[in-house]
Amino acid sequence: MPILTRSVVHPSRRFWGRLVLASVLTAIVLSPATAGSESARAGRTHEYDLKAVFLFQFAHFVTWPARSFRDETTPITIGVLGEDPFGAALDEVVAGESVGTRRLDVRRYQLAEQVGACHILFISASEADHLPAVLAGLRGRNVLTVGDTKDFATRGGIVGFGVDRNRVKLRVNLAAADSAQLTISSKLLRQAEVVRKGAKR
């Protein structure tokens, strides 16, 4: 098991909590023992904790067009559409965080029509059935759509989460990102598998 003691001194007190959380999550996700024999429920929870962190990290590696923000201090909004699988994890991750001058904001939507000014939108598995309609509704808006349903990216979403050998994998649909006028950092792309719409895995 990885050792959880740390000796780093960091200026932000609040950061500690998230560090502990992140370490625990990393340790669990990277540990073969975790995925092998732990209960499925616990595995799912930890998986979504990590995905919450990834959602937050996208804010750093994606550039939105300036018109998607009202001004310099308009927060980056992370939205969750449908049934929320994160629990309190997402709120904990973004609490007090900021990207440059922008704070981070979490919103939850039950219906696609409710989605307003939003920059990162996690489309829950509960919306899988009418995903094309949801995506169509978002066309022309600068929203980074993220989902973990099967073939999310090839079906027109921008970033899809997958799990491979106990790791969360990223798939990116660059054409979809282009049409949403989003610039994804090449660093992020290095971590991801680039896919095209309609491609079969």
Partner 1 sequence: MRAPKTTIQRKLVLAIMLTSTTALVLTGAVLIAREASSLRQLVEREVTTRAGILAANSTAALAFRNPDDAIQVLAALRTDPSVIAAALYDESGQLFATYPSNVAPSVLPRAFGGVGHRIEDANLVIRQQVLEGTRLLGTLYIRTDLRELDERVRMHALVVLCAVLGSIGVAYVLSIWLQRKIAGPVRALATAAKAVSEGKDYSIRADAVSDDELGLLAESFNDMLAEIEKRDGALRASEGRLRQLNAELEERVAARTAELESSNRELEAFSYSVSHDLRAPLRSIDGFSKALLEDCGDALGEVGARHLDRVRNAARQMGLLIDDLLGLARLSRAEMRRERVDLGLLAREIVASLSQAQPDRKVELVVTGNPTTEGDPPLLRVVLDNLIRNAWKFTSKHPTARIEVGQTGDNGSRTYFVADDGAGFDMAHASMLFAPFQRLHRQSDFEGTGVGLATVQRIIQRHGGRLWAESAVESGAKFYFTMWEARS
> With binding defined as CB under 8 A, does residue 165 bind partner 1?
no
Among 7, 32, 72, 164, binds partner 1 (CB under 8 A): 7
> With binding defined as CB under 8 A, does residue 3 bind partner 1?
yes
Six token digits for residue 125: 């598995």
> With binding defined as CB under 8 A, does residue 40 bind partner 1?
no
> With binding defined as CB under 8 A, does residue 5 bind partner 1?
yes
Give the integer Cα–Cα distance in Å for 15 and 182: 29
Closer residue to partner 1, CB minimum distance, 86 or 161? 161
Closer residue to partner 1, CB minimum distance, 50 or 134? 50
What residues numbered 53-82 form the site for partner 1, per CB under 8 A? 54, 57, 60-61
Give the integer Cα–Cα distance in Å for 80 and 65: 21
Q: Which residues contact 72 (CB under 8 A, 6 or more apart)?
A: 101, 102
Whether residue 75 contacts residue 64, with contact meaning beta carbons closer than 8 Å, is answered with: no
What residues numbered 94-123 form the site for partner 1, per CB under 8 A? 97, 99-100
Closer residue to partner 1, CB minimum distance, 54 or 149? 54
- Give start and end residues of each alpha helix (H) in 104-152: 131-138
Closer residue to partner 1, CB minimum distance, 95 or 188? 188
- Give start and end residues of each alpha helix (H) in 103-173: 131-138
> With binding defined as CB under 8 A, does residue 153 bind partner 1?
no
Give the integer Cα–Cα distance in Å for 113 and 126: 15
Q: Count Cβ atoms below 10 Å from residue 73 Cβ, excluding itself.
A: 11
Interacting residue ranges for partner 1, rule: CB under 8 A: 2-8, 10, 15, 19-20, 22-23, 26-27, 29-30, 50, 54, 57, 60-61, 97, 99-100, 167-168, 170, 185, 187-188, 190-192
